[in-house]
Structure 1
Amino acid sequence: MCGITGFNWKDEQLLGRMCEAIKHRGPDDGGTYIDDKVSLGHRRLSILDLSEKGHQPMFNEDGTIVLIYNGEIYNFLELREEFIKKGRKFKSDTDTEVVLHAYEEYGTDCVQHFNGMWAFCIYDKTKNILFLSRDRFGIKPLYYHFDGERFIFSSEIKALLEHDLPREENRSIVFDYLYFNLTDHCEDTFFKGIKRLMPGHNMIFDLSSGKMEIEKYYDVQSRFVKEEEDHQKVKELFTDSVRKRLIADVPVGSCLSGGIDSSSVVVTMRKVDPDAQIKTFSLRFPGDSIDEGEYQQQINEMVNSMNFCVTPDTSDLMNDLQELFLTQEEPFSGTSVYGQYRVMKLARDNGMKVLLDGQGADEVLAGYHYFHGYYYYELLKRLNLSLLLKEANGCYDKSRSFAPMIYLLLRMTPSGIKRLIYKNRKVPFLTPDFISENEGRKDKRWDIYTLNEALYSSLDTYSLPHLLRFEDKNSMRFSIESRVPFLDYRFVEYMFSMPPGQKIHDGTTKYAFRKAMEGEVPSSILSRHDKIGFATPEEKWMKDETVREMIQEIIDSESFREREFWDWKMVKSMYEKLLEGKSSSIFVGTDIWRCISMELWMRLFIDRENITAE
């Protein structure tokens, strides 16, 4: 795992500053390549072949192809063997060299042969192009700026900001965040003029003409043709995914929340390697309803793993807040991001360089409760009322919640009425002028009606992209490579090929995967229907004296009052009602946090100030 940077002109000092800005992504080694046309930089976190043979930039035999690469190709051994049979020579045992030869063998189609996560840039001197690619699901980030002349790219935004780019917020993205609670859902970032290469996309930058072409090379919707229902096959694919993600020349541990996903990862790690020392890393809040300690303990005792846990409090949050925003680079919608941040720090402090994690499972397996609403609507459209009632009753018996029925009603509500509800009830704290300015912005989830459509949009646009941003930025801040077995493309394609009734059944989410893991994961965990993850006691924290003082100072500050996005008096009133326990909306804490998060981001990145209030 590493960090990459570059641009289309020669400047050694500027490239050095960019590399230094992302040194945390690769503290083990660094390298550059510079000629009259390009400047390319790399920071290395050594995971495979720890020797100097893995140094980057890496060159082909005649020096006409230069590679800088961030990621892991889990099938590199198979590809390496294939290329050796074709007569290609290898100087190292790295997957980096496999990427280099794959490009020589297949050109830009090389990405179709990879199973893994990546963001890389190949400088092909013969064709005079830069070829950039991002993995199928966007596990690894890649940002860029192109103004018609200057082309700049990097693994993180902070390296791009070493250039003299205008510091201006993207108001449309700010609106999507405050109004729809959306981030990372399109190529635009919160920084005007800085974009992300989207998941499953390739880019060609022609150094001769200065033209850029971007092409989508992968779409999971086009990858399955028949319905599948084999639970044994599900287990086999998942087991092989975990097996491949254990390949490393350094120890591999795992995050462990205690839910189905992370528990399945850990028990499968033990199944794959019965003798390995397994370290797990967890978030704990003893005595709180969100604490999952009993489930974590079950798994740790079952697999004989060594567990490390952390319990951050509000003083920790306040001390780390500025660094957390610098790490994430864009606003986020809650303090659970900080919980993950502290787990990654815990892992680093205990000597880890690679962790497995359960990210992506909810999007692939239909784990979120709101997916019920899409399934209900699908059944209603088919006039399958008996199954609809059965599913609704089953869900209520397990959760004692009417939320899925509310989601069904939302599916049946016309978009125009939804916008009125948002404007007058959901986000009344935004100014009319700001809403009018963005009248054309739309949440495409309002036009999704089937379960498979919802799963696809969750994977592609609305959920997974921001979770992967949190995952990458938090882990790499502490020089840790995070690997996500649920996003092996073979596993994803198979799960997406299953019919809706295998994803949600009798009011149970993740049905097929639960069935596949029977006998592997304790029934006490497989039968869980709550959803926690690395949650923090957010509302309690927002009422804590230390946090309360900060929020009140921010809302009362001149900069917050002068922002054009919100009615600061209404935000203040909302917070006062939350503190008094008079708030009638379950979303008000999240709404307030988004405003605070937006203000802190503006101060840090646009105004270039410290984030504490004046």
Structure 2
Amino acid sequence: MCGIHLIWGKGANKESIDVLLAAGRHRGPDQEASLSPWPGLWVGVNRLKIKHPGPEADQPFWSPDGNYFLIWNGEIYNFQSLGKQLQMMGVTLLTKSDTEVLMHWLRIFGNKGLETIEGMYSLILVNLIEKSILVARDKNGEKPLYFSQDPDRLIISSDARGIHKIKKTTIDPDQFGYYFYLRTPLPGKTLFKGVREWKANRNSWIHQHSTFRWDTIATKINKEPNPSISTFREELQIAVDRQFQADVPVGIQLSGGADSALLYALWYQQSGIKLQAYTIQTEEKYRKKYSDGIAAARFLSQMPADHQLLEVNQQSFLSNWEDYLQSIDVPVGDSAGFLTWMIGKEAKKTVKVLVSGAGADELWGGYRRHQAFDFYLKNKKVLLSLRQVLQKLPLGREGQKFFSSIRSDSRRTFLNFEALRPVPHELAEDFERLFQAKEISYTDALDFDRQNYLVQDILRIQDSALMAHGIEGRAPYLDERMIKLQKSVGDPEVLKGKPWIKSCLRDLDLAWIADRKKTGFGLPLAEWFREDGPFSQRAFQSIKAFEKTQGQDFPKEMRDLARNPESGVKNHFLILYNLFLLADWLKLQES
């Protein structure tokens, strides 16, 4: 893991690249460098040493002839096989690092070489002969990358705040509505005006004063038309074996749920090696509902690990809140971000890599919204005809959300299921182009989740919360082999409720985890807001102050709730947390 930075054009100088390096220093505390390969271009890198931690693999990493160098952020999981191919071509490798392999692979094959790379990355390859750069971000969007381009200058960085500081941009209030309904800015945007997200699976060769010509990275699908559960387990075992490996200590975020439990069980059964494991535990009075700590302890009686339970309460939350906000460059309205940050704070004492179950729900249909959408598709006509009547019944929070969300347009319906509240028409239109068809199937919905929610929420949280502490996050369910296998599944029933994951757990004598009710990963927000304790008092104060200063830029529903946050305690506690987060984060940007 690293931070990478580039300024090309007006204002490219040592002072400017130092601003970007300072913003990204938490991403790579082990090594830092900057240089100007030709007038008008400066690049910089912050390195976190995971593979080949010696200085021989420091960045920028130069080709032997001095014509190319690479700066990048990520891990290449098939670098050993690529390295063997390079050696057969006559390339001499001087290190055991994926950095050297990646540099040579791209030097020889250019952006077409990205098709055979299996890993997570954002990268910049500099060609000094042609005075051009190759910029790319991995297929899943596991590693962040941001940019700003105008006629005189291109700025690229792993951290949006550095670009914001150089450009002296303002906050973009047009993003408040997207954040309110969908937890994040519009895909491709940030909360800083003029600072954009380099989208996942995009690459471009850029020459001076040229505009981007986006290319996507082709994925070859598994030739097996209908893979079996045995194939799934074999491929997941391979993903575990290669993603649990590093030249530094590795640990796991263990929720006590199916996804992380299966990963660790496969690792421990194969290797017999105990790893560090970290689990969040709530206050004792909430543990019947939020039982991750209890479940994780039971699991580890079968699959031993060096386990740490990290208790989070209102006092520990408030004492760490400002430090957490300081670490965020693009806020995500999801309390899992704070919990992941707390795990990283403790884990950095012992490990430099943390594995998680991220991606399993999006690929294999693990969320309640997937069940709801499947039910909607099977009963669409009846549900639409009865919606007005059923919506008036006392159905509870989830029932009301379901019936207020359904529309005749299946795209709009799934977007509403993913959102915290039904999305207004003018905002929802911006998401329609992300769907592959006007009427979408269940598998289309999973693809949308993987390309949108997974990238904008889950992976952004994992990267920013862990990199704040200099820890690399990994997600074996998003291994290239697993993505190809999931795309080759012909039977949609396999993609509903994670049946293969649960079956593998049963085979490992972990049926009780497979049958455990999914609770989600987050703070006990409903309980904290109801208590009228220090958490809710601080949150309400921040939200109301936010509305007074910037409420004129809010959508109507957002402003109504911000004016009277107490009214949302019962049904809108998730949105209240998000408003609290946004309000306090914006206050820090202004200070």
State the TM-score, normalized to the length of structure 1.
0.85
Matched, 1:339 2:339: yes
Query: Equivalents in 1 of 2:559, 2:178: separation in Å?
Result: 21
Q: Is contact 2:551-2:559 (8 Å) kept?
A: no
| Pairing 1:279–2:270 present | no
Give 1:411 shift. Answer: 4.6
Question: Map of 1:141-540 to 2, 5 A cutoff?
Answer: 141-171=144-174, 173-178=175-180, 180-183=181-184, 186-207=187-208, 209-218=209-218, 223=221, 227-274=225-272, 276-285=273-282, 286-288=284-286, 289-349=289-349, 351-380=350-379, 407=402, 410-414=405-409, 426=421, 441=430, 449-498=440-489, 499-504=491-496, 509-520=497-508, 522-533=510-521, 535-540=522-527
CA distance in 2, matches of 1:133, 1:91: 25
The structural deviation recorded for 1:331 is 2.8
Further displaced range: 550-559 or 56-65: 550-559
Which range moved further: 440-449 or 555-564? 440-449
Q: 1:199-248: per-residue Cα shift (whole Å, max 9, x none)?
A: 111022212x33322222246xx736774240000000000001011221
Displacement after TM superposition at 1:356 (Å): 0.8
Contact 1:448 1:454 in 2 (8 A): no
Residue ranges of structure 1 left out of the alignment (5+ in a row): 389-399, 429-434, 610-614
CA 137–300 in structure 1, closer or farther in 2 if over 3 Å, else same: same
Amino acid at match of 1:522: L
Distance 1:201 1:226 in 2: 27
Which moves more between the two structures, 365-374 or 517-526?
Answer: 517-526
Query: Distance between the aligned counterparts of 2:366 and 2:291, measured in 1?
Result: 19
In structure 1, distance between residues paired with 2:59 and 2:562: 51
Q: Which residue of 1 aligns with 2:42?
A: 39
Shift in Å at residue 512 of structure 1? 2.4
Q: Distance in 2 between matches of 1:352 and 1:521?
A: 29
Change (3 A) 1:418 1:30: closer
User: Per-residue deviation at 1:125?
Assistant: 1.4
Q: 1:592 aligns with which of 566, 573, 576?
A: 576
- Answering whether residue 71 of structure 2 is matched by residue 68 of structure 1, we say yes
Work out which of the residue numbers 123, 128, 131 in structure 1 matches 2:131.
128
What 5-or-longer segments of structure 2 have no aligned partner? 384-394
Q: Distance in 2 between matches of 1:374 and 1:450?
A: 9
Q: 1:560 to 1:445 in 2, by over 3 A?
A: farther
Q: CA deviation at 1:83?
A: 0.6
1:235–1:517 contact (8 Å) kept in structure 2: no
How far residue 282 of structure 1 moved from its aligned partner, in angstroms, is 0.7
Secondary structure of the residue aligned to 1:136 is coil
Q: Say if 1:184 and 1:462 are closer, same or farther in 2 by CA, change over 3 A.
A: farther
Alignment partners' CA distance in 2, 1:522 and 1:27: 39
> Would you say the 8 A contact 1:74–1:247 is kept in 2?
no
Q: Secondary structure at the match of 2:124?
A: strand
CA separation of 1:380/1:356 partners in 2, compared to 1, >3 Å: closer, same or farther? same
CA distance in 2, matches of 1:329, 1:558: 19
> In structure 2, the residue corresponding to 1:159 is in which secondary structure?
helix
Which amino acid is the alignment partner of residue 75 of structure 2?
A: E
Q: For residue 82 of structure 1, report the CA deviation from its aligned partner.
A: 1.1
- What per-residue deviation string (whole Å, max 9, x for no partner) do you get for residues 292-340 of structure 1? 2232012222222110121122222222223222322223223232111
What one-letter code is carried by the residue in structure 2 that aligns with 1:255?
Answer: Q
Counterpart position of 1:19: 21
Q: Distance in 1 between matches of 2:94 and 2:173?
A: 46
**Deviation larger for 183-192 or 19-28:** 183-192
Instruction: Assess, with a 3 A threshold, how the Cα gap between structure 1 residues 332 and 500 changes in structure 2: closer, same or farther.
Output: same
SS in 1 for 2:188: coil
Distance 1:443 1:175, change over 3 A: farther
Q: How far, CA to CA, are the matches of 2:503 and 2:425 in structure 1?
A: 49
TM-score normalised over the length of structure 2 = 0.88
Quote the Cα distance in structure 2 between the aligned partners of 1:234 and 1:267: 15
| 1:362 and 1:368 in contact (8 A); partners too | yes
> Shift of residue 409 of structure 1?
8.5
Deviations 1:557-583 (A, max 9, x none): 37635421346873256423356xxx4
1:50 aligns with 2:53: yes
- The 1-side partners of 2:425 and 2:297 are apart by 52
Partner AA of 1:238 in structure 2: L
Offset of residue 121 of structure 1: 0.4
AA at the equivalent of 2:462: E
Quickly say closer, same or farther: Cα 1:448–1:522, change in 2 above 3 A. farther
CA contact (8 A) 1:327 1:473 kept: yes
Q: Cα distance 1:192–1:304, how it changes in 2: closer, same or farther (>3 A)?
A: same
SS at structure 1 position matched to 2:277: strand
Conserved? CA contact 1:374–1:408, under 8 Å: no
Offset from partner CA, 1:145-180 (integer Å, 9 cap, x none): 111221001111122133133223151x222122x3
Distance 1:98 1:521, change over 3 A: farther
Cα shift readout 1:348-395 (whole Å, capped 9, x = no counterpart) = 13x1101111011100111001112332344458x9x9xx9xxxxxxx
CA distance, structure 2, for counterparts of residue 595 and residue 406 of structure 1: 19
Alignment partners' CA distance in 1, 2:396 and 2:511: 22
Would you say the 8 A contact 1:334–1:538 is kept in 2? no
What is the aligned partner in structure 1 of residue 3 from structure 2? 3
Q: How has the CA–CA distance of structure 1 residues 415 and 482 changed in structure 2, closer, same or farther, with 3 Å as cutoff? A: closer
Whole-angstrom CA distance in 2 between matches of 1:197 and 1:360: 20
Deviates more, 1:461-470 or 1:263-272: 461-470
Cα drift, residue 531 of structure 1? 3.0
Deviation readout 1:92-122 (Å, 9 max, x if unpaired): 1110001111012211111111111001101
What CA deviation, in whole Å up to 9, does each residue of 1:418-469 have, x standing for no partner?
A: 89x99xx9589xxxxxx79869645679966421011000001134432100
Change (3 A) 1:143 1:572: closer
Given residue 277 of structure 2, which amino acid in structure 1 is its aligned partner? T
Q: How far is the alpha carbon of 1:502 from its aligned partner?
A: 1.5
Is the contact made by 2:544 and 2:563 (CA closer than 8 Å) also made in structure 1?
no
Which of 593, 602, 614 is the matching residue for 2:586?
602
Task: Please point out which of 86, 93, 96 is paired with 2:96.
Answer: 93
CA–CA distance in 2 between the matches of 1:523 and 1:436? 44
**Does the CA contact (< 8 Å) of 1:372 and 1:407 recur in 2?**
no
Structure 1 counterpart of 2:204, one-letter code: M
Report if the CA contact (8 A) 2:546-2:583 is conserved: no
Q: Which residue of 2 aligns with 1:391?
A: none
Once the two structures are overlaid, the 10-residue window that deviates more, 444-453 or 467-476, is 444-453
Change in CA separation of 1:162 and 1:317 when aligned onto 2, cut-off 3 Å: same
For 1:198, give the aligned amino acid. Answer: K
Q: Deviations over 1:17-55 (max 9, x none)?
A: 321221111111111221313111111111111111011
